[in-house]
Amino acid sequence: MKINRETIISLPKTDLHCHLDGGLRASTARDFLREDGEAVPGQLEEKLRVASDNADLEQYLESFELPCRLLQTAGRLERVAYELAEDAAAENIRYLEVRFAPLLHCEQGLTLDQVIESVLTGLEQAEQDYNIDTGLILTGLRQSSPEKTTVLAEKVTEYWNRGVVALDLAGAERGHPAKDHLEAFYVVRNRNINLTVHAGEDFGPESIHQAIHYCGAHRIGHGVRLREDEELLNYVNDHRIPLEICLSSNVQTRAVESYEAHPLPDYLKKGLRVSLNTDNRTVSDTTVTDEYLLAIEKFNFSLRDVRRLIINGFKSAFLSYDKKSEILEEVTLELEEQFFRRDLTVVDEL
């Protein structure tokens, strides 16, 4: 049985690592540029996408310059958050965690509260219009001052239970250790709130070790270089610490040399809690469906593997245990029903 695009779209899915600015639709960017009276570049789609000859994470991050510059008003942030959830719902993502760095959207007068509230409003509206649940993750930047990350951490505690589900740390990994931001992590964990850290993407397993053991991360963004430290890998596996894998992005940022060199199949085989995510729908020019199809094509994943990745995604969500159990029960039944309806044999294998 061939697993095609239609099959993947029909299955309920998550996206736990999805940046707001990296998902700005080209058509929306065009509207914003026109509103501002700016010239619309001829190749706007290409301009928003990472260059294929992109060399590293730092160059990848340059692709966010235009979206950040355009997203400086409450109305735009609300619209873009809504559209991101709308795009996710269109490919049957049932639970979406959107992340963004609020401080980058305060450059033309918006306060942190206005920025956060605008994005929450957009996501809430999408939840009303579509069959999707969402959570918002506030991202601090490795290269900014630790004091700023602590201010953001306080915002996470203020908006906790009002749509914000975690604090994240992103940005250039090399030369900007996560432990510089310990105070912020403490603020969040001290209030029993979730923490995820981008690590092991542009730097070795020491960065993942630091994120987990010094900073107390509950999930790791990427973690592709975890395979270089077997003991740490076993710890991550034993403690069921989820890894948010983003295949296209990992190749584009040169976190791995090629898809074939990606550790995902090995991680899945070892039982690590790995899920598939977009990272950036526009910048990486991908969708969750594309990421599944890529995994099937490159690693010859079976429907059983697909099911495992989907379930891992729901298990890794920053949701309460009760809510997660409820969603997992629904999703498990739905997957069985979908597989049965499509005459897919995976049900017998479970």
Among residues 202, 197, 208, 260, the alpha carbon closest in space to that of 234 is found at 208
Min dist CB 339 to Zn ion, Å, is: 31
Structure tokens at 1: 């049985």
10 Å CB burial of residue 83 (0-12, 13-18, 19+) is middle
CB of 298 to Zn ion, least distance (A): 21
Whole-number minimum distance, CB 221 to Zn ion, in Å? 5
Contacts for 311 with CB less than 8 Å, ≥ 6 apart: 328, 331, 332, 335
Chain residues binding Zn ion by CB under 5 A are 279
Shortest Cβ distance from residue 139 to Zn ion (Å)?
8
- Cα 14 to Cα 54, 92, 243, 316, 327, distances in angstroms: 28, 9, 13, 9, 11
Distance (Å, whole) CA 157 – CA 333? 35
Q: Which is nearer to Zn ion, 11 or 274 (CB)?
A: 274
Phi, psi of 167, deg, nearest 5: -105, 145
Q: Judged by CB, which is closer to Zn ion: 205, or 221?
A: 221
Radius of gyration (C-alpha) of the chain in whole angstroms? 19
Give the active site residue among 201, 206, 257, 336. 201
Nearest-CB residue for Zn ion: 279
Dihedral of CA atoms 191, 149, 32, 78 in degrees, nearest 10, equals 10
Q: Which is nearer to Zn ion, 41 or 171 (CB)?
A: 171
* Rounded least distance, CB 170 to Zn ion, Å: 5
| 86 is known as an active-site residue | no
Assign 3-state DSSP to the chain and report helix, strand, coil percentages, each to 5.
55, 15, 30
Q: Give 254 or 342: the residue with its C-beta nearer to Zn ion.
A: 254
C-beta closer to Zn ion: residue 77 or 283: 283
Catalytic center residues: 201
